Structures are given as C-alpha cells and as structure tokens.
C-alpha cells in the first residue's frame, strides 16, 4: 500500500479559521437551496382549505386591528395617508424581518435530526428561509399594491417618490438584519435555550420600538426624551424609509439610511462568523 | 491499492451530565484560554469510555487516538458493542461533528446513508422527496433527473411515487431512502445499521447493491452493523472498537471472531447451571448442576474432556443419556454427540465426558448440554434437563508442529475432514 499522491480532497479537523465560508461549496449545493425554498413554500399550507390565501389574511387582519387600535382608539395621526395603508406598508416590511428572524433563529434546534445525519453547508438552511420569506414578501407586496391602487382611484393624494429606487437595498437590509440576528440566536440556543424563550416575546416587543404602528415623527414630538431609543434602532430607519419611498410620508435622512445599512452588514457578518463556529460541533450540545 | 481515507489520532471528547450553569463556567474558562492563545484545558482530562463504570470525571473520551486507513474500493466493517464509539466515528467521518483532536484526510466525497426517513418531508410525494433527499446528499438536480427511473425502479415503490411519503409504510420509506443513496456517486459511502428494516427480499437487494458498488464500481464503503452475517458477507476488512479505542483490525473474519469472543461470557473452566441456562420447562427428575473443563488447553486433534455433575431429584427406572451440541462463536451449531446410556443410582453422580475425533479446527466454541431418559435405539427420548451455553473452550495449535492446520483460515469453516485420494488412471 502506498499513497499515490498526497493531495487530499479535504481534511476533517477540529481547529478552524475565524471565517471559512466556502462559497464554492455553497454554489455546488444551489439545487438544495432551491429545493428547500420550494419545500417551505409548498408544505406550509398543505391540507388547509384556504391554502395560499393565508398569506393574504395575516397581514390584512393585523393592519385592520392596528388601524382600529392605534389610529381610531389611540388617535395616532398619519397625515394624508389612509391609516390602513400606512399600517399595511409597515407590516409588510416588518413581517419580512420577523419571519426571517424567527425562521432562522431555530435553524440548529429544529433541524438537528437532519444535521445529525448528513453534512451539507449549514448556511444553506437560514439562506433558504430568507429566500422563501422573500417569496412571501412578494405576495404581500401584491396586496399592498392592490390597496394602493384602490386608494389612488378613490382620489387619495399619495404617490411614491424617487427613493423607490432604493427598494432592493431596503429588502436586502431587512434580510441581512433578520438573518444576522437569527444566526446569532440560533448559534447560542444550541447549548443554552434561554434565548429561544426570549425570541418569542422580544420580537413582538421590538415591533413597538421600530416605529411600525406609528410614524417616527409622532415619537419625536410626543416623547422627545425617549425618541432616541426608537431613532437608534436600525429597524426604525428601515421601516420609516420603506414607508417614505412608497407613501411619500415620514422622515428620511441619508444619515439614517447609511446607519441602518452599516449595522445590517456588521450584524450579518458577526452572525455568519458565530454560525460558522457553531456548525462544526453543535450536534454534541444541542 | 491506494489509500483513499486516512484517520490520524482521532479523538472525541464529550461532557457527561446535563447542560446548565456548570457548563457555562467551563465554557467561559475555555473561551478565556483560547483568547490568550492557550490550549483547551479540558482536553487534558477525561475518562475511558466504559459505560458500565461509575463516572469519575466530567468528561469522557468517546473516541481516543483512532488510527486507520481505508483503501480505494474496500468495504470496511466497523463493529463493536453499543456505546463503543461507532456512531461517533461515523459522525466525524460524515462531517456532522468535528473531532476534538486529530485529522482525517480523504481523497473522495463522503456521503452517509440516512436513517429511516430523515430528510424526508412527510407532506411531499415520493418523487419530490427523491429530489430533496438527493440534493441533501449532495447530488445536483440534473444528476437526480438522469437517474430518477433507476431509483424508482430500485425502490420498488412505483405505484406510490406520487403519493405523500407520510402514507408510506416504514419499510417503503427505507426502500426509497436506500434507493436514493445507492444511486449517489460519492467515492466513499457510509452506511449505519440500515438493513435492519426492510424485508428479506429488499435486504438481499441492498446487500447485492452494496457489493456491486464496491466490487464492480470500485466505490469505498464504510459499513456499521450488528448483523455479523451481513458484515461478514460484505466487508473485506474490519476494525473493532471497544471503549472508544481500536482493539482489533484486519481481516474481517478475524475481527468478527475477536468481537464475538469479547462479548460472550461463557466460562471455560466451570459453570454452575442455573435457570439462566434453561430455556424451557422440563421435569428435571435428574438435573445438571455443574459442568467443568478437565483440560484448559485443548490442542487440535486432541480429546476434549469435561466433568458433569448430576443430581437426582426423583428415582427413575430407565437409563439416561447425556447429549450435547457444539456451536461456534457465531452461534452456528457445528454438530452434536450422544453418550452411551447409563443408570443413575446415586443422589449425586459425577461423570467424565470425552469427545474424540472431533476434527474441529482452531478457534473458539461453546456447548449446550442436556440429559434425557430413554435410549437412542428406541428412538424415543425425553429431555429431563438442559443447559444452554454451558461451557466454552478454545482449540489451539501447537505452533512448533509443521502442519497445514497451522494456517487455518476461518473461511474454510470450523471442521476439517479426513480425505483420501486414489489414483485411478
């Protein structure tokens, strides 16, 4: 027996570099990514009567409730913009974030059966969650466009502005934030489950300091002392900017835009590093 | 032959007990060491992986300094008791978890055969699951499409292929899972105890496919199983794991023998017969109470001699005979003996039994005994008492002797026959 040559295909060893995401490998598994996305989309509403209609019902009802509670009872002002449309816009963006976050935050725990048996780049999993949620975002945008046109025909003075060109960047920012935070949480929950308990209610609380059911100006004027909590939240900048480009209503600053962009990228990179460190041995502790 | 996979000093450490605040302090300590560029302090400690001992430390070495090589096209069997570290080793090989120390170098892609239905989504149809499962195992979509018909055909589930997998029987799910994996084209295939499910026809098919993979296509297979018959028929070489360490390696028949002899605890010197040795109810008018070896070192071609203690519980007028069956270590019966009839006229009787001209080759064996009344000529005997796995013995060969039996190969069987040839023309 002799070794013909010493160029091994790969090595399995304990120590690893801080950042060793193998893009070539992920590219090789692109079909798997596609199939996971398809599986997520197809199987969610199997054996339901309304099927994909559920994608419409959830944001619609949330918007109606928000309009009743915040605008009609708590009297939050939304200017010329119809309160319902204001809420629907915010919720569409917010939903994408919260679905990405909750979807990726239990990556390791909910897939331990599969991860414990077979190797593939683990990053495929959160990535597929992000992509399948992107499709849901697309569907929800259709409802948004439907009501938008309805209100325009009714004669409401709303129109998008030039910022609409930033739309893809906003979507990417939301995805990066959700994915980054989700990956960090998923990595920590492999050993200590405390964070997964936190995620459930933290996400719903986070919504209230992300200016979803109210415009940013409302806080700045109403609670100037505490407005910074909301302002420094990158999500506020994204939600507010998202509404601003579509409804031409709200506060937009380039400072806020770039602030949110940098935070998103940093959080994503930190998440990726932690996720990578965890994926090699999480099965021992999960 | 070229080496396709090489494991060097693979060790894997696990923590015992539950995860709680105690683990947090260890984690912080470990993190503090790594910050200063020092070695993980907990890698220096850890007990031997023997589940029957009381845990003396917080850490255990599930695997310790494992070294082995696998050649291209070889089927390597990995055997060992429960908890010996087999699955941990497979997990490291299939990159599910990383080793604590050591390195594995490979020249080929390693794919593992999924356990029943992992990776299958119950709501998706068989066809959709073939794609999903294939992709999980590392195939591309076009690769799967080109093999789809073959896979469906091999699984034998064509009728159900467009039905959700949740409607499948568990056997059908395994068939489908195995069909996908068998059509993978990794250079190294890892299979863990999967043939336990599935009917006889499918097991045969699966074993045939694995032989085809390794012998015809030159694929390397690592096979873990407790089914020694399957291991023996499939593998060329084996490694035996015990308490996280390799205790035997080499030719599969040799490794299996080593494994079976380490797991069977049949005394070779003396056995008191208890109810553990009895499997059915008999009258026990006369009972076997003790069996012991007269010789401790049995040479090939030599007489085997045992002493049997009998106890009389009820006087009977008929004569009795002692019978017994010799089995090899894989539990196959080799043959039986029947003694001459004798009368039991005392409350306690000691008899000496000798077995000669047995022609057993070197190796380990054990015996079942029984005592019966009646005689063989009448063809009508009634078992009074019996003792399964009563005593073990080993047959050695004197190495100084020049004898072809010296190199007895276990593939030749357990018995050597006397033969003669006559030149006819």
Domains of chain B in start order, with CATH, are 3-7+66-262 (3.40.50.300), 270-411 (2.70.50.60)
In a domain, A12, yes or no: no
Model pLDDT, residue A158: 85
Q: Does B96 touch chain A (CB under 8 A)?
A: yes
Whole-number mean pLDDT of chain A?
Answer: 86
Q: Could you tell me the pLDDT band of residue A245, with boundaries at 50, 70 and 90?
A: very high
Contact B78, B241 (CB under 8 A): yes
Q: B72 to each of A46, B129, B230, how far by Cα in Å?
A: 45, 31, 21
Cα dihedral A185, A186, A187, A189 sign: positive
The C-alpha of A128 sits at a distance from chain B's nearest C-alpha, in angstroms, of 13
pLDDT of residue B194: 57
Out of B97, B111, B128, closest to residue A284 by CB = B97
Q: How many residues does chain A have?
A: 286
Record: contact B135-A35, CB cut-off 8 A: yes
Q: Which residues contact B129 (CB under 8 A, 6 or more apart)?
A: B120, B121, B165, B176
Digit-coded pLDDT (tens) for A91-112? 999 999 999 999 998 888 888 8
- A29-61 pLDDT, tens digit per residue, is 899 999 999 888 888 777 777 777 878 888 899
**Contact at CB, A118 and B104, closer than 8 angstroms:** no
Domain contains A9:
no
Contact status of B106 with chain A (Cβ, < 8 Å): yes
- Closest CA of chain A from B263, distance in Å: 28
List the one residue out of B233, B265, B222 whose CA is nearest residue B113: B222
User: CA dist B418 to A134, B305, B357, B360, B411, Å?
Assistant: 79, 22, 10, 11, 18
List the helix and strand counts (H, then E) for chain B: 8, 19
Using an 8 Å CB-CB cutoff, list chain A residues near B94: 117-119
User: Are the CB atoms for A115 and A122 separated by under 8 Å?
Assistant: yes
Q: Residue B201: which residues within 8 A CB-CB, separation 6 or more?
A: none
Q: How many domains does chain A have?
A: 1
**In Å, how far is B392's CA from the nearest CA of chain A?**
39
B67-88 as b/e, with b when 16 or more CB fall inside 10 Å? ebbbebbbbbbbbbbebbbbbb
The Cα–Cα gap between A239 and A158 comes to 18
Option in B23, B109, B141 nearest A31 (CB)? B141
Whether residues B98 and A113 touch (CB distance < 8 A) is answered with no
What is the DSSP code string of B126-181? HHHHHHHHHHHTT--HHHHHHHHHHHHHHHT-GGGTTSBGGGS-HHHHHHHHHHHH
| Residue A258 tokens, joined | 């770039």
Which of A32, A111, A113, A192 best tests the B interface by mutation, with the highest count of B CBs <10 A?
Answer: A32
Distance (Å) from the alpha carbon of B281 to chain A's nearest alpha carbon: 46
pLDDT score for B322? 92
**Strands (E) located in chain A:** 10-12
User: How high is the pLDDT of residue A128?
Assistant: 93
Q: Does any CB of chain A come closer than 8 Å to the CB of residue B28?
A: no
- Measured from the Cβ of residue B21, the count of other Cβ atoms closer than 10 Å reads 7
Residue A257 lies in a domain: yes
Cβ contact, residue pair B92, A12, below 8 Å: yes
Give tens-digit pLDDT for A154-206. Answer: 988 888 888 889 999 999 999 999 999 999 999 888 877 777 788 888 888 99
Question: What residues of chain B lie within 8 A of the CB of A28, using their CB?
Answer: 138, 140
Cβ separation of B71 and A1 shorter than 8 Å? Answer: yes
| Chain A environment of B39 (Cβ under 8 Å) | none
CB–CB of A244/A164 below 8 Å?
no
> pLDDT value at position B367?
92
Predicted pLDDT of residue B275: 85
Identify whether A21 is part of a domain.
no
Q: Give the gap in angstroms from C-alpha B33 to the nearest C-alpha of chain A.
A: 14
* Beta-bridge partners for B328: B365
Question: What was the pLDDT predicted at A2?
Answer: 42
The interface residues of chain A toward chain B in range 245-284, judged by CB-CB distance below 8 A, are: 280-281, 283-284
CB of B3 within 8 Å of a chain A CB? The answer is yes
Taking the CA of residue A97 as centre, how many other CA atoms within 13 Å lie in the half-sphere pointing to its CB? Answer: 23
Enumerate residue ranges in chain B where pLDDT < 50: none
User: Does the interface ipTM go beyond 0.85?
Assistant: no
Which residue of B101, B106, B111 is in closest CB contact with A9?
B106
Range of the domain at A220: 49-285
DSSP β-ladder status, B75-80 and B237-242? parallel
B385: three-class secondary structure by DSSP: strand
- Cβ(B397)–Cβ(B369) under 8 Å? no
CB contact under 8 A, B104 and A1: no
Residues 106-125 of A with CB under 8 A from B: 113-120
The percent helix, strand, coil of chain B (3-state, each to 5) is 30, 35, 40
Selected for mutation to probe chain B from A284, A285, A286 (highest B CB count within 10 Å) is: A284
Q: Is B331 exposed, middle or buried (0-12, 13-18, 19+ CB in 10 A)?
A: exposed
Both tokens assigned to A283? 């099965």
Cross-chain Cβ contact A115/B96 below 8 Å: yes
Residue A112 lies in a domain: yes
The model's pLDDT over B148-165, given as tens digits with 9 standing for 90+, comes to 999 999 888 888 889 888
Q: Is residue A69 part of a domain?
A: yes
Q: Does the residue A38 lie in any domain?
A: no
Token pair 């299958």 is found at B120
Chain B contacts of A285, Cβ < 8 Å?
A: 19
**pLDDT, tens digit, 9 for 90 and up, residues B37-60:** 777 777 766 666 666 666 666 788
What's the predicted TM-score (pTM) here? 0.73
Q: Do B99 and A2 touch (CB under 8 A)?
A: no
**Interatomic CA distance for residues A9 and A47, integer angstroms:** 45
- From CA A175, how far away is CA B399, in angstroms rounded? 74
pLDDT, position A151 = 92
Q: Is residue A93 part of a domain?
A: yes
Looking at residue B415, the DSSP 8-state letter turns out to be B
Given a cut of 60, whether residue A4 has pLDDT beyond it is no
Q: Which of these, A228, A196, A193, lies nearest to A211 by C-alpha position?
A: A228
How far is CA A18 from each of CA A15, A115, B113, rounded to the nearest angstrom?
10, 21, 31
Nearest to B258 by CA among B237, B285, B276, B272: B237
pLDDT bucket at A1, cuts 50 / 70 / 90? very low
| Residue matched to tokens 């304990």 | A14
Q: Which of B14, B101, B123 sits opposite A46 (nearest CB)?
A: B123
């Amino acid at each position: 027996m002799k070794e013909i040559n010493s160029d091994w295909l790969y090595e399995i060893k304990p120590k690893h570099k801080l950042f060793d995401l193998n893009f070539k490998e992920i590219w090789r598994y692109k079909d798997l990514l596609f199939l996971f996305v398809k599986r997520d989309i197809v199987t969610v509403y199997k054996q339901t009567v309304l099927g994909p209609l559920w994608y419409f019902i959830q944001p619609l009802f949330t918007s109606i409730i928000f309009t009743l509670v915040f605008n009609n009872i708590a009297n939050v002002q939304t200017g010329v913009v119809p309160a319902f449309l204001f809420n629907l816009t915010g919720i569409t963006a917010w939903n994408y974030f919260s679905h990405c976050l909750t979807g990726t935050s239990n990556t390791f725990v909910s897939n331990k059966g599969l991860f414990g048996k077979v190797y593939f780049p683990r990053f495929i999993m959160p990535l597929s969650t992000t992509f399948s949620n992107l499709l849901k975002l697309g569907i929800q945008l259709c409802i948004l466009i439907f009501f938008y046109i309805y209100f325009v025909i009714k004669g409401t003075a709303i129109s998008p502005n030039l910022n609409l060109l930033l739309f893809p960047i906003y979507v990417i920012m939301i995805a990066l934030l959700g994915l980054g935070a989700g990956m960090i949480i998923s990595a920590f929950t492999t050993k200590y489950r405390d964070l997964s308990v936190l995620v459930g209610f933290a996400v719903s609380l986070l919504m209230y300091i992300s200016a979803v059911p109210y415009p940013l100006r409302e806080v700045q004027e109403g609670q100037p002392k505490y407005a910074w909590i909301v302002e420094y939240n990158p999500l506020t900048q994204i939600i507010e900017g998202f509404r601003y480009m579509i409804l031409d209503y709200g506060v937009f600053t380039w400072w806020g835009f770039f602030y949110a962009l940098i935070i998103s990228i940093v959080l994503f990179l930190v998440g990726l590093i932690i996720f990578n460190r965890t994926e090699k041995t999480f099965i021992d502790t999960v | 032959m070229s080496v396709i996979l090489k494991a060097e000093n693979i060790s894997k450490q696990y923590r015992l007990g539950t995860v709680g605040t105690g683990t947090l302090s260890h984690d912080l300590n470990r993190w503090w060491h790594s910050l200063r560029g020092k070695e993980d302090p907990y890698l220096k400690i850890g007990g031997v992986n023997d589940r029957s001992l009381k845990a003396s430390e917080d850490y255990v070495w599930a695997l310790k300094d494992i070294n082995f090589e696998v050649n291209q096209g070889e089927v390597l069997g990995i055997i060992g008791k429960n908890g010996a570290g087999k699955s941990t080793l497979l997990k490291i090989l299939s990159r599910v978890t990383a080793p604590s120390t050591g390195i594995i170098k490979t020249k080929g892609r390693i794919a593992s055969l999924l356990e029943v239905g992992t990776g299958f989504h119950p709501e998706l149809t068989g066809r959709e699951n073939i794609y999903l499962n294939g992709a999980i195992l590392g195939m591309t979509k076009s690769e799967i499409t080109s093999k789809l018909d073959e896979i469906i055909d091999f699984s034998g589930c064509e009728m159900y292929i467009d039905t959700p997998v949740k409607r499948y029987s568990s056997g059908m799910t395994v068939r489908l899972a195995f069909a996908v994996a068998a059509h993978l084209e990794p250079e190294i295939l890892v299979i863990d105890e999967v043939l336990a499910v599935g009917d006889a026809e499918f097991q045969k098919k699966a074993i045939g496919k694995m032989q085809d993979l390794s012998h015809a296509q030159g694929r390397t297979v690592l096979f873990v199983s407790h089914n020694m018959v399957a291991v023996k028929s499939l593998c060329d070489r084996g490694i035996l794991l015990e308490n996280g360490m390799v205790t035997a390696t080499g030719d599969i028949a040799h490794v299996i023998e080593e494994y079976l002899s380490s797991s069977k605890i049949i005394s070779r010197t003396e056995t008191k017969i208890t109810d553990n040795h009895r499997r059915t109810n008999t009258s026990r008018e006369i009972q076997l109470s003790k069996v012991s070896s007269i010789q401790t070192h049995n040479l090939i071609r030599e007489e085997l001699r045992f002493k049997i203690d009998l106890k009389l519980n009820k006087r009977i007028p008929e004569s009795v005979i002692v019978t017994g069956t010799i089995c090899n270590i894989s539990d196959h019966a080799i043959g039986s003996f029947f003694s001459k009839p004798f009368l039991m006229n005392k409350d306690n009787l000691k008899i000496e039994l000798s077995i000669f001209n047995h022609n057993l080759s070197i190796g380990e064996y054990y015996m079942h005994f029984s005592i019966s009344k009646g005689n063989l000529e009448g063809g009508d005997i009634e078992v009074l008492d019996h003792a399964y796995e009563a005593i073990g013995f080993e047959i050695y060969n004197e190495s100084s002797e020049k004898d072809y039996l010296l190199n007895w190969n276990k593939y030749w069987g357990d018995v050597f026959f006397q033969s003669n040839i006559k030149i006819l023309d």
